[in-house]
């Protein structure tokens, strides 16, 4: 039961995170184009070029400046059991009510709670402007807590029937009313407890920043090894987007100071000491090269062409975009020992890069890294850029030899080494015909709907579906009876990379098409007779 809840929560957490990649690219490009050391006098203060990119940069900060609101709105969309859009609206209203209560409490009684509310927001004040209200900076923790409370209220009281004479207050109004009165004591508790937590976070920041190479190694290892469970979001998100080591998150801190770091001649490790905890994605750039080469060279000669056709798109996706799950899940289920090896090597790569003095928000694929690290840091930190690639390619070679040795030594059935012939795949037309009979031809011309229908059938049919969610690459489903779920091979016939089983909680590894497949899946669920 707990795994089902964590799976659903983890999927909901990822909904707003998907917006950060584009915002990060826009910010890094606009900041880079305002750097005179990179583009010359055209970026001088007051020029049209400078002013244009300053405007673009202001838009890029939207996502990071409103990160709390994104989670407050995004979580109910993924967690509410009914009327998700209304739940998102309710969550926004209740969260802003909470911050208004908190603001007024601190304005009137700040000294009682050891808070100087007269300070300017930002810096070490512990204060922040949220939705136009000066309040305590509770970061993601406060946003997630309030959103979770609203979802709890919504799921229990949204459909509560009130007497006709007060019927105007039912539905969303009732949820907001209950939330309003709950926020009063919660705001007082927050005013009392959160300043203490802020002090603890400050101490934790210093400790983590000074924990050294082993701390980075352990952090990266945990983030990688938890990928099959879908719980890796709980490891990296407090660091990257939350206050674990830097207030506001490592990504925002790196982008905010990108020009400063680029223009400074101080070592990056001194400029951004907490940046080692932003290295969990370095393996995405270099691991696929070595792993893919190992798979190809160990595949049966007659299957190498087919294996290459599988490896090239998944490896390129991982390297360029940073989405590694489709690639990793190509071998996770047939050779799970290799995933442990992968996690150990990824952690060692991150720790080694850090030990050589390279830090920064390095990850998310080569496309993002070009603008966020490689190009801007090439001005005064070319040594760090070259070190990154030298260490990275060295680990690509290590990956190749380690994986190749393990595959041959233990005869692991990686792609291209399967003993049995491949399970027969439905032809597109066969499957279209099959689904047309079941769904009155509604799905025949939609490849996403065909895949969704295949997964639906493999999961035990529409009556076996309890909850549906998704993250960047996975369709997360809770079923009523796990015994009705088909073997993993059935999902692979529909194009899935694999299946994660945790009791009644299942994760179908779909790939980057998962939003479209989820939409089609929801439509099938909606057709279920009530």
Which residues are designated catalytic?
A: 471
* Residue entry with tokens 């690290």: 373
Give the CA distances from residue 362 to residues 186, 233, 253, 312, 469, in Å, rounded to whole numbers and listed in that order. Answer: 38, 17, 13, 23, 29
Query: Whole-angstrom distance between the N-terminal and C-terminal Cα of the chain?
Result: 25
Rounded to an integer, what distance in angstroms lies between the CA atom of residue 202 and that of residue 206?
A: 7
What are the backbone angles phi and psi of residue 232, rounded to the nearest 5°?
-65, -25
Rounded to an integer, what distance in angstroms lies between the CA atom of residue 137 and that of residue 344?
A: 36
Q: Going by DSSP bridges, is the β-strand pair 127-130/505-509 parallel, antiparallel, or unpaired? A: unpaired
Rounded to an integer, what distance in angstroms lies between the CA atom of residue 56 and that of residue 50?
A: 10
Among candidate residues 472, 480, 471, the one with its CA nearest the CA of residue 525: 480
* Burial classification of residue 226, based on how many CB atoms lie within 10 Å of its CB (0-12 exposed, 13-18 middle, 19 or more buried): middle
What are the backbone angles phi and psi of residue 272, rounded to the nearest 5°?
-140, 70
**Quick one: how many helices (H) and strands (E) in the chain?**
25, 6
Rounded to an integer, what distance in angstroms lies between the CA atom of residue 295 and that of residue 287?
A: 12
- DSSP E strands in 25-165: the ranges are 127-130, 133-136
Rounded to an integer, what distance in angstroms lies between the CA atom of residue 239 and that of residue 381?
A: 24
Which 3-state string (H, E, C) describes 112-126?
HHCCCCCCCCCCCCC
How many CB atoms neighbour CB 470 within 10 A? 24
How many CB atoms neighbour CB 190 within 10 A? 25
Rounded to an integer, what distance in angstroms lies between the CA atom of residue 14 and that of residue 265?
A: 37
Residues 6 or more apart in contact with residue 314 via CB below 8 angstroms: 288, 326, 327, 330
Are 53 and 33 contacting, i.e. CB atoms less than 8 angstroms apart?
A: yes
């Amino acid at each position: 039961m707990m795994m089902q809840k964590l799976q659903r929560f983890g999927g909901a957490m990822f909904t707003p995170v998907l917006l950060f990649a584009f915002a990060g690219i826009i910010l890094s490009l606009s900041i880079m184009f305002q750097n005179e050391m990179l583009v010359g006098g055209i970026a001088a203060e007051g020029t049209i070029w400078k002013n244009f990119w300053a405007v673009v940069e202001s838009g890029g900060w939207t996502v990071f400046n409103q990160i709390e609101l994104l989670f407050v709105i995004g979580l109910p969309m993924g967690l509410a059991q009914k009327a998700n859009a209304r739940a998102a609206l309710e969550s926004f209203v209740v969260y802003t009510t909470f911050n208004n209560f908190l603001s007024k409490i601190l304005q009137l009684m700040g000294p009682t709670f050891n808070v100087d509310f007269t300070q300017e927001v930002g810096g070490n004040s512990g204060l922040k402007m949220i939705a136009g209200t000066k309040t305590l900076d509770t970061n993601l923790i406060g946003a997630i807590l309030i959103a979770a409370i609203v979802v709890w209220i919504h799921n229990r009281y949204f459909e509560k029937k009130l007497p006709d004479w007060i019927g105007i207050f039912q539905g969303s109004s009732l949820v907001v009313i209950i939330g309003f009165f709950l926020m009063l004591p919660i705001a007082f508790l927050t005013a009392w407890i959160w300043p203490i937590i802020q002090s603890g976070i400050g101490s934790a920041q210093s400790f983590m920043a000074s924990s050294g190479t082993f701390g980075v190694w352990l952090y990266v290892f945990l983030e990688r090894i938890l990928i099959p469970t879908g719980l890796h979001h709980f490891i990296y998100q407090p660091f990257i987007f939350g206050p674990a080591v830097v207030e506001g998150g490592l990504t925002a801190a790196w982008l905010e100071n990108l020009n400063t770091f680029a223009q400074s001649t101080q070592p990056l490790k001194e400029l951004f000491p907490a940046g080692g905890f932003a290295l969990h994605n370095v393996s995405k750039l270099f691991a696929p090269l070595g792993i893919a080469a190992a798979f190809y060279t160990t595949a049966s000669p007659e299957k190498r062409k087919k294996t290459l056709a599988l490896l090239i798109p998944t490896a390129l996706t991982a390297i360029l975009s940073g989405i590694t799950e489709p690639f990793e899940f190509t071998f996770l289920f047939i050779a799970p020992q290799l995933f442990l090896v992968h996690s150990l090597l990824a952690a060692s790569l991150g720790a080694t890069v850090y030990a050589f003095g390279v830090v920064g928000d390095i990850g998310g694929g080569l496309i993002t890294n070009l603008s966020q690290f490689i190009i801007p840091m090439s001005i005064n930190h070319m040594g760090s850029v070259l070190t990154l690639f030298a260490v990275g390619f060295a680990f690509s070679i290590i990956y190749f030899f380690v994986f190749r040795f393990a595959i041959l030594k233990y005869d692991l059935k990686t792609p291209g080494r399967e003993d049995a012939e491949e399970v027969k795949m439905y032809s597109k037309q066969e499957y279209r015909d099959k689904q047309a009979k079941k769904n009155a031809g509604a799905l025949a011309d939609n490849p996403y709907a065909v895949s969704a229908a295949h997964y639906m059938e493999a999961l035990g049919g529409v009556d076996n579906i309890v909850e549906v969610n998704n993250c960047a690459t996975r369709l997360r489903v809770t079923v009523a009876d796990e015994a009705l779920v088909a073997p993993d091979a059935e999902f692979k016939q529909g194009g899935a990379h694999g299946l994660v089983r945790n009791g009644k909680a299942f994760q179908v590894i779909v790939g980057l098409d998962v939003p479209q497949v989820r939409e089609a899946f929801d439509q099938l669920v909606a057709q279920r007779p009530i």
